[in-house]
Amino acid sequence: MHPKAVLEHATHLVRAAMRLDHPADAIVSRYFRETKPRLGPRERHTLAETTYAVLRHKPRFELFARSGTGDNAKRLAILGMAFGLPDQRLFLEGALEPRESTWLKACFSVPESELLDMHRHNLPMWLAASLATELAGGAAEVMALAKHLLKHAPLDLRVNTLKEKREQVLESKEFIEIKAEATPFSPMGLRVPGRPALQHMKAFEQGVIEVQDEGSQLLAMLVDAHRGEMVCDFCAGAGGKTLALGASMRNSGRLYAFDVSQHRLEGLKPRLARSGLSNVHPVAIAHENDERVKRLAGKMDRVLVDAPCSGLGTLRRNPDLKWRQTEAGIAELQAKQLAILSSAARLVKPGGRLVYATCSLLSAENEDVAALFLTANPSFELLDAGELLTQSKIPTETKSGHSLTRNGMLRLWPHQHATDGFFAAVWTRKTSN
């Protein structure tokens, strides 16, 4: 496809994504489905990367775009392609008018030291201020985190230990060819450079591997589900953690996958078929107080609440979230999270374990919710996540000395742990008051 045609598509897609009225991945997918004639793999990759680059660097690109002329969405698309895909600069030049080429070179010549903080960290000001209170290093560490969030996330996989051991997978020809490495913390994890076509790999087709961030794998390990137990994944979604829990249970016992979205649970079915699990029971519930939840009160050995959250720990994958979330929205989420956690806690039997988790970076959704829950539920006792990881023979520090926990709770940061941002608090229900 001619460079001018690619840039025209990029302009349309960037314009749609910048409305911020739907998730970026949904907008990109819909555009690819509806575009005629069909776009090839190379064009789809270019357009997607251009769009995500604009969302990652939105304040900086909007600043630069003001110095150009013509369609604003086109200027943003040019910047996204130039900065997001530096190896395609020559291709892009074939689509530019002389004045556009001159303007782009001027943008590249601006020293970072001359930019305001907001154009360097590319975060909403409210979020940058909130993170400064979260991180011990203050504004300097916020900048370090922000720069890391502008990068691509690695591709992490979980080995289905019902079918293969990680060592066997690493030694297989398929994974030697894609240069897979063992993840440093999860004993089930693999990290793969680039974006290989997993759907065409034998290991994926046979359910030997699933895509799952290493941090998410650690959440499942904190649940520590065993053979023969009654376990509930209370907010299962498409079931990534459900599959990990089922493997931990060695396909025995009974594992409930609750979610309010029947559509998301439908996405679990093909994954279950590949995994070989038969102990999973997907259940669509109307809300956290559904009658089906009440009937199981006090019967569960383990309950995981991976609560709906801002998703701000996943900004490397979903950069639009930082522009679609607000301070007011975080407050609303906190109330929802506490309600869901309180309802799910009723399922836990005496001596059972409850894990509350998010993929958020903010205490308002993490430690604050945990504290509010514990105050209202004195029958639960906080367990030390670091001790639990040690019992599972998982390192609790990175090689550079960054702890995986804070105040007894799991706290993962992209710039420190090379995972998505994750939080988890673990409690046990006391056997007597």
DSSP state of 154: P
- Could you tell me the two tokens for 1? 């496809």
Name the 3-class secondary structure at 37. Answer: coil
- Name the pairing type of β-strands 189-192 and 181-182: antiparallel
Phi–psi pair at 358, nearest 5 degrees: -140, 165
Residues in the chain: 433
Distances (CA, A) of 41 to 20, 44, 48, 177, 377: 25, 5, 11, 21, 52
Task: For residue 235, indicate whether it is catalytic.
Answer: no
Name the 3-class secondary structure at 16. Answer: helix
Distances (CA, A) of 319 to 2, 122, 176, 346, 382: 28, 10, 31, 35, 33
CB 197 within 8 A of CB 406: no
H or E stretch including 282? strand 280-284
Name the 3-class secondary structure at 311. Answer: coil
Catalytic residue among 232, 235, 309, 359: 359
Q: Which residues are catalytic, by number?
A: 359
